[in-house]
Amino acid sequence: MLKLLCVTIAGICALVIAMGIGRFAYTPIFPLMQEALHFSNADAGYIAASNYFGYLLGALLGSRVQKSNKQKVFRVSLVINILCNGAMALTTSLVGWAVYRFISGISSGIVFVLASSMTLDFLASKNRSAWSGLFYSGVGIGIVISGLFVPFLNQLADWRGAWLGLMLLCLLLSPAPLFWTEDSRKSVVSDTETIQTQQDQNASFFYWLLASYGLEGLGYIITGTFLVDIAMSSPSTKEVSSLSWVIAGLGAIPSTLFWAWVGKRYGHVRTLVCAYLLQAIGIVIPVVQSNATGILLSAFLFGGTFMGITTLATSLARNISDQSNRSIGYLTACYGIGQILGPIAGALIEQQTHSYSWSLIGAAIIIFVGGVLLVMGRYASCSQTIQVSRRGGYHVE
Residue 232 lies in a domain: yes
Reported as a single tens digit per residue, the pLDDT across 196-211 is 434 445 667 888 999 9
Q: Per-residue confidence at 181, pLDDT binned at 50, 70, 90?
A: confident
Residue 395 lies in a domain: no
Separation in Å, CA 77 to CA 62, 99, 114, 363, 387 = 10, 16, 10, 31, 32
Q: Looking at the 3D structure of the chain, how many domains does it have?
A: 1
Domain extent, residue 239, equals 2-380
Q: Per-residue confidence at 358, pLDDT binned at 50, 70, 90?
A: very high
Residue 270 identity (one-letter amino acid)? R
Residue 24 lies in a domain: yes
- Residue 228 sits in a domain whose CATH number is 1.20.1250.20
Residue 116 lies in a domain: yes
Residue 386 lies in a domain: no
- Burial class (CB within 10 angstroms; exposed 0-12, middle 13-18, buried 19+) of 193: exposed
Residue 229 lies in a domain: yes
Q: Per-residue confidence at 391, pLDDT binned at 50, 70, 90?
A: very low
Higher-scoring residue by pLDDT: 107, 265: 107
Higher-scoring residue by pLDDT: 355, 318: 355
Residue 388 lies in a domain: no
- What global pTM score does this model have? 0.81
Q: Per-residue confidence at 6, pLDDT binned at 50, 70, 90?
A: very high
Higher-scoring residue by pLDDT: 195, 67: 67
| In contact, 366 and 378? CB cutoff 8 Å | no
Residue 101 lies in a domain: yes
